[in-house]
Structures are given as C-alpha cells and as structure tokens.
Amino acid sequence: MRTPRLALLQSLFATSDEQAMWRVQTEDDERAFAQLVRRWEEPLRRLCARMLGDAHRGEDLAQEAFARVFARRNDYQPSGKFSTWLWRIALNLCYDELRRLKRRGEESLDRADAPVLDEAQGWVTPIPAPDEALVAQERGELVRQAMLRLPEVYRSVLILRHYEDLKFREIADVLDLPEGTVKSRMAEALTQMSRWLKPALAGKPPPGRSPECQNQECPIL
C-alpha cells in the first residue's frame, strides 16, 4: 500500500500526457507511447462502443485511434491538450464507421454494453418489479437503444458529458464548436432521449422519425 508521501512524490514526478506525447513526437519513444495507451485505452473503448452501440467494433476503433495517434504524431500541437486531440481522433473514426455502416444498412446486434445513464432515473418513473436486476438490465437496454437513435452530433455530446464527465468547455474544444452550441445540443439530446424513453418504459410504442424524413439530422417526433 502506498504511503501518502510516496503517492505525493509519484504525482509530482508523473509524466503528463502532453510530456509523453512530446517524447513520442520528437523521439519516437515507445515507452511514452505505451504509457499513453495504458492511460487512455479504456476511456476510448467506452467512447467508441457507446457511439457505435457495439463493444467489439468499439474496441477495434480504439486500437485504430492509437495507431492513428502514432502515425500522425507530427501533427500534434504541443500547445494543446493531448486529450482534446485524442478524443477528436476517436470521434472522427466513429463518425466514419457510422457512415460506413449506414451505407451498408447494418445495425448493431451487440447488446453486451448497455450502460444505464444515472440521469435516466429522473426522466422516467421507476417500474416496480420483483427482479430489480432484470428491470435494470431492461432499462439499460432501452437507454442504449434511445441513445443510438440520436443523431451523431447529439450522441457525441451526451457521451462526453455524462459518461466521460467532460466539462462543456472541454467538449467545445474537442468538437471545435462554441460552448453555447454544445449546451444547446446537450439540451436537445436530453429532450429526444426523454421523448423516446418515457413511452418505451411505459410499454407504449416508441416515437419514430417522420416517414418523409430519413436524414439522421431530422428530429425524433
């Protein structure tokens, strides 16, 4: 068990993400790159899995994101935060994959990654049932489905804010948008999620997009 003094010393001398990336950029430092992978592989895997609704593809994309980081290491600007650059790379890969899947007409069948938004408890009335674990699982699956119905521009904001706990300012940096736009997208994402979740959890047919609107940017009715 680490003593408080040892933990303090380790924190003081720990290499920051930016320092590690600088070593990767200038020296092709494999140990520094491995350090970045260890720190960020789980957050990236979560992000990609939730964007795609597919844990296996999410893991593959997370690995591809790191490969792209190394391949494009000379593009990194030391004046910026490494995490901002990394999130942006991962999201762009997710967008590309979603467009590819849309062209192929695929839908994810993987339901292993069905996290429940804490905020969902505030959107719906809990359903009484003898098996609480089963209820939580079913509710989590409904939340997952609702999130996948969101247009990508709303889904990315929701995931970064509520799952990865980024501040609105940080999300704005990642998406290269004004902070006000990010907040507006967050509000619209919550509105659409609530509109779909309430009837779904009440056992009613969920709302859909208007028949004449097939564009993913169209709002859910």
Give the SS3 label for residue 163.
helix
Q: Quick one: tokens of 92? A: 């762009």
pLDDT of residue 199: 75
Whether the predicted pLDDT of 175 surpasses 80: yes
Domain 15-109, CATH number (from 1.10.1740.10, 3.40.50.720, 3.40.50.300, 1.10.599.10): 1.10.1740.10
Answer whether residue 43 shows pLDDT above 60.
Answer: yes
pLDDT in tens, 83-125: 999 999 999 999 999 999 888 875 543 443 344 344 444 444 4
- For residue 145, how many other CB atoms are within 10 A of its CB? 16
Cα–Cα distance measured from residue 183 to residue 11, given in angstroms and rounded to the nearest whole number: 33
Token reading at 191: 């509105």
Alpha carbons 140 and 152: distance in angstroms, whole number: 20
Q: What's the mean pLDDT in 26-45? A: 96
Please determine, for residue 15, whether its predicted confidence score (pLDDT) is greater than 90: no
Residue 217: its pLDDT value, please? 44
The yes or no reply on domain 114-221 and CATH 1.10.10.10 is yes
Q: Note the maximum CA span of the chain.
A: 64
- pLDDT band for position 196 (cuts 50, 70, 90): confident
Question: Residue 208 contacts by C-beta under 8 Å, 6 or more apart in sequence?
Answer: 220, 221
Read off φ and ψ for residue 52, nearest 5 degrees. Answer: -95, -20
- Report the pLDDT value the prediction gives residue 123, as an integer from 0 to 100: 41
- What are the pLDDT digits (tens) for 115-173? 434 444 444 444 444 455 445 556 667 788 888 999 999 999 999 999 999 999 999 99
Assess contact for 45 and 58: CB atoms under 8 A.
Answer: yes
What ranges in the chain are assigned the alpha helix state H? 4-13, 17-27, 30-52, 55-71, 82-104, 120-123, 132-149, 152-158, 168-175, 179-201
Q: Where in the chain is the domain with CATH 1.10.1740.10?
A: 15-109
In the chain, list all ranges with CATH 1.10.10.10.
114-221
Q: Residues for the chain: how many in total? A: 221
Q: What percent of the chain has pLDDT over 70?
A: 68
Q: Kindly tell me if the per-residue pLDDT of 74 is higher than 90.
A: yes
At residue 193, what are phi and psi to the nearest 5 degrees?
-60, -45
Residue 35 identity: Q
Put simply, whether the predicted model's pTM sits higher than 0.85 gets the answer no
Phi, psi of 143 (to 5 degrees): -65, -40
CA distance 192 to 186: 10
